[in-house]
Amino acid sequence: MEKKEKSIMGLTTSSHFLVHLFEGVLPPLIPLVMLEFNADYFHIGLIVSIFSYAFGLFAIPAGIISDRIYPKHLITIFLLCAGIPAIAVFKATSILGYGILMGIIGIFAAIYHPAANTLIARSIKKKGKGFGLHGIAGSLGVASAPAISAFIGTAAGWRTPHIIYGAIGIAIAVFSFTMKKDNTESGTDIEPDKTEEKKKKSYYPLILFFLTAIFLGLTYKGIMTFLPIYMGENVHFNFIKSNKIALGGFVTTLALLAGAVGQYVSGKLTDKYPPEKIYFFTVLCGAVCVFSIAFTTNFALILSAMFYAFFYFSVQPIQNYIISVYLPVHRHGIGYGILFMMTFGVGSTAALISGYMADKFGLASIFYLMGVCYTIAAFIAYLLYKTSKNPRSEVA
């Protein structure tokens, strides 16, 4: 990679790692936050939903803007404007105040994914490698958040992880200001490809694709919100002496590390096989893994969670690839914006519903419900595979 490309990858990978620390900071700290504010699972799920709705819904305007201005500027805005309210969490004295701050963080975190994917698509010559490294960094952020947040939270209080992540965001923003000006910063509007406009338009495969994103987003938010506490309650080893919060965070991180491997494997396979076929297979396998989480314990539970992470995160490079071939270049930003709105915005409803299910029927009920959502996603992915024989020439 050239020096400019290395700087861009340094900015995007570190920022991708951080955005998922922001996203994943609360779940491992749920018992501490519940104790602090005398809250129940429903209200904790509500806070996660507030963050996630903002995280998803504001991705659409971010995607539109990413098609019009240099995306690096948007990443810098995210780092600064999410970092400041994260630090301000130390002043939160009520569940309402904490929820408002998390909502503000979610609004500015929404900027990140459409901007970063657009920046990589425009600036990195070997886009497959760029998206792969970027995806792995995000997976490591998702995987690390439970252990890091649980360790810091139990040692120094539940507010401390928020403050540290906010400070890191501001530090990365300072780094972004040191990057040399790119000659593509001005005039970044991309003219539509006239040959693309002449192609026959069929939006049915694209609709099916976004429907799968909704149901996968539901499973992601429902599972990731309550997996750390569920693991803490259902993993017991006599040779490990640790409290449930720390243990749940640690074993969740251990399981989720498999997601980085899934990113790499699916990225390689997508270059060789039809992406819709791989998409269906990974979603179907993920559904089986989610159901198995609901009725296993100890090593079997950890193994089920590892396979879930492997197959869930495998879909992300495939989704990014599908967007790149289903939409023309000048629509990539809005395409990624819609994708992340479906995944993190609409999908965030599951955090609220899962909190209600946990209060009424126990934590295991969450994973049965998420398994049903996963099964629906697999069925739609099958329809996508059967109806999208040549999407490159059908969708513009």
pLDDT digits (tens, 9 = 90+) for 355-394: 888 888 988 999 999 999 999 999 999 999 988 754 443 4
Q: Which residues contact 85 (CB under 8 A, 6 or more apart)?
A: 101, 104, 105, 166
Residue type, 136: I
Within-domain flag for 190: no
Q: Which residues contact 191 (CB under 8 A, 6 or more apart)?
A: 330
CA distance 285 to 70: 38
* 372 compared with 395, residue with greater pLDDT: 372
Within-domain flag for 361: yes
- C-beta neighbour count of 325 within 10 angstroms: 12
Range of the domain at 343: 3-182+195-393
Q: Which residues contact 394 (CB under 8 A, 6 or more apart)?
A: 199, 200, 201, 202, 205, 388
**Residue 336 C-beta-side C-alpha neighbours within 13 Å:** 29
pLDDT for the residue numbered 188? 45
Residues 120-166 have pLDDT tens digits of 877 877 766 777 788 888 888 888 888 899 889 999 999 999 999 99
Within-domain flag for 187: no
Within-domain flag for 188: no
CB 32 within 8 A of CB 144: no
State the total domains in the chain. Answer: 1
Looking at residues 318-341, what average pLDDT do you find? 82
Within-domain flag for 387: yes
Q: Structure tokens of 330?
A: 């000048």
- Which of these, 143, 75, 124, lies nearest to 313 by C-alpha position? 143
Q: What is the mean pLDDT of the chain?
A: 84
395: burial class by Cβ within 10 Å (0-12, 13-18, 19+)?
buried
Within-domain flag for 189: no
Q: Structure tokens of 281?
A: 């297979």
Within-domain flag for 297: yes
pLDDT for the residue numbered 190? 45
Q: What is the CATH number of the domain that holds 223?
A: 1.20.1250.20
Looking at residues 46-60, what average pLDDT do you find? 85
Percentage of the chain with pLDDT > 70?
89
390: burial class by Cβ within 10 Å (0-12, 13-18, 19+)?
exposed
Within-domain flag for 351: yes
